[in-house]
Chains A and B, each alone.
Chain A
Amino acid sequence: MAEISPDKRVDIRGLVCPYTFVKAKLAIESMETGQILEILLDYDEAAKSIPKSMEAHGQQVLKVAKINDTDWVLLIRKAKE
């Protein structure tokens, strides 16, 4: 599968819930429908809760991956305004 290139990146390492989601949500709101957001985070709980909340808000989760001992990368496609 070809690498997906995000339209926007946010680094929310160091943040805990609910600010992880607050930042992720503000980022997705500022984008156009169809664009892809990459989120870099290090709070394990948020790696589960952000995808769940994004889906509940109608957005599409493309990828949830742990990239090293501490960090996660999420890819979210903005599907809904």
Chain B
Amino acid sequence: MGFAYQKGEGIVDFTEDQILRYSRHIILPEVGGKGQAKIAGARVVIVGAGGLGCPVGYYLTAAGVGTLALIDDDTVELSNLQRQIAHSVDTIGMPKVESAKKTFNALNPDVTIVPVKVRISKDNILDLIRDYDIVVDGSDNFPTRYLINDACVMSGKPLVSGAILRFEGQVTTLIPGSGPCYRCLFEEPPPPGLVPSCQEAGVLGVLPGVIGGLQAAEVLKLILGKGEVLKGELLIYDALRTTFRKVKVPKNPSCPVCGENPSIKELIDYNEGYCAPQ
């Protein structure tokens, strides 16, 4: 008994194993076989294979996202394992993107994992995200966060942004054109001296799991076209007090990158003085 669905421009036929694997999705009225076929046709790129990239990639792999690219130039260290759940003692020293690929392939061989071991910069970001439908920010520093934001605005890609520090995390979904961008919220990155690096500040190991899980849910809703994403809203999770609150983020008409008269028309690498935590 075969069931054929549109997947991108082609047709996807679920195997019996796939029907079993995705049965809890297929049962959902908002997903069904058609929604699962959309997931199978989706192409998502995750910047960072660390605290956030691991859970986002793990759940999107489990969900059966067709193609998942992982961008990170780092290698796995023992100090990562308190929170970066796709890596293990066996992969210490290995590039993070290769370590995560190994874990994700073992979970779901349906998913094509594309490991990209490079440092993202203004010179390569547009090429790296070009072939993908949705961008996920799982980076750990402001220069990268602003670079990804600007590149997504310039190329019209939806961006699911996440950030974590100590016991607090944030998530928002930025839709170029109809919603605000990250610079509508904070025009410029904070000066390097004011930014606590993860190394200085620490992070509760489970925090990226919560925030990454929320980011993965945002990605799936974007793919399915169901529900409401965090457009124009910043969700803030406080793990110590166990609270979630939403802050409205209006689109700023004078935003330097997505406003009416943008002053930023080229990508910027803010490299000076920022530390790269391990």
Contacts and interface: CB of A to CB of B under 8 A. Distances in A.
A20 to B, nearest CB: 11
Interface residues of B, number: 15
A27 B29 CA distance: 14
A29 B1 CA distance: 14
Contacts of B14: 26
Nearest to A29: B33
Interface stretch (B19-27, B38-46, B192-200): B19-27
Which of A23, A27, A57 lies at the interface centre, i.e. has the most chain B CB atoms within 10 A of its CB? Answer: A23
B29 A57 contact: yes
Interface in B1-40: 1, 3-5, 14, 19-20, 23-24, 26-27, 29, 32-34
Nearest to B3: A26
Given A25-B33, A29-B34, 7 more contacts: A23-B19, A26-B33, A29-B32, A29-B33, A30-B4, A30-B5, A30-B33
13 contacts: A19-B19, A19-B20, A19-B23, A21-B27, A22-B19, A22-B23, A23-B19, A25-B32, A26-B26, A26-B33, A27-B3, A29-B3, A30-B5
Return the 7 tightest CB-CB contacts between A and B, nearest first: A26-B3, A22-B23, A26-B33, A29-B33, A30-B3, A22-B26, A29-B32
Interface of A: 10-11, 18-19, 21-23, 25-27, 29-30, 56-57
